[in-house]
Structure 1
Amino acid sequence: MASLAKTLQRLLPPSKELPPILKTRPGNLYEVLSRSPNIVGREIHQIRWSGKNIVNSYWRVTRAQFKCNGEHGKAWGQLYWRGKLVTTGRDERIRGSLKYKWADGRSTATGSTPKP
């Protein structure tokens, strides 16, 4: 997918940006989620958690609604903090979705590689 994004970027005029689905860098929650057709069950974390050495923390997404080409919307899920489920009962709305940068997977300690 990265090669497709680079090819499209060369073809588009400089004033045009790639749609969020083709960007490969971390972004807000909705940009990262909208890159894949499978949203339910995805694990996603805030990048700052890794910088603070908070490991194995993530949101498991249960549903999402997108607006504005996948740059805004609403998302719900279950929070796992340091490997333990924190959310009880119903799904919670995921907060900080536009305020922080997000990435796929679970948080890892800075400089370490994720475990399979």
Structure 2
Amino acid sequence: MSNIGRSLQRLLPIALPPALKNHPANLYQVLSRTPNAVGKEVHQIRWSEKHISDSFWRVTRARFKCNGTHGKAWGQLYWKGQLVTTGRDEPIRGALKYKWAEGPSIAPKLKS
């Protein structure tokens, strides 16, 4: 390998940066990974741990600060597949307190 190839290999990252990895984080970190957070479905990790499935927030607007680690988000809550939010979108609570992930919650299968 040439010297140029070796120096390029050192400059290129081996893995994705932490901000782009798909791992549980606070709500704003999860939403700020993509350019458009509107329409994204997110759920709290603890819902899956409590065997609550098909529950999620559908984000209708988001505002970020501190490089996407803090902010405000609004959306509609779907609980066990049913829309719970009536009328307008409402603020999403627990954004910094709990760990969040993309998609609806999935209850783990029970061992038999």
- TM-score bin, normalised by smaller chain: 0.7 to 0.9
Q: State the distance in 1 between where 2:108 and 2:75 align.
A: 25
In the other structure, the counterpart of 2:82 is: 84
Q: Which amino acid aligns with 2:32?
A: S
Q: So what's the TM-score if we normalise by structure 1?
A: 0.78
In the other structure, the counterpart of 2:38 is: 40
Q: Which amino acid aligns with 1:96?
A: G
Kindly indicate whether residue 95 of structure 2 is the aligned counterpart of residue 97 of structure 1. yes
Q: Once the 2 structures are TM-superposed, how far is the Cα of residue 81 of structure 1 from its aligned partner? A: 0.3
Identity of aligned residues (%): 67
Runs of 4+ in 1 over 3 A off after TM superposition: none
- Say how many residue pairs are matched: 99
What is the root-mean-square deviation in Å for CA atoms of aligned residues? 2.0
Query: Looking at CA atoms only, which structure, 1 or 2, has the larger radius of gyration?
Result: 2
Q: State the distance in 2 between where 1:106 and 1:50 align.
A: 9
Q: State the distance in 1 between where 2:32 and 2:51 align.
A: 27
Which sections of structure 2, spanning at least 5 residues, go unmatched? 1-12
In the other structure, the counterpart of 2:7 is: none
Q: State the distance in 2 between where 1:7 and 1:95 align.
A: 29
Which sections of structure 1, spanning at least 5 residues, go unmatched? 9-17
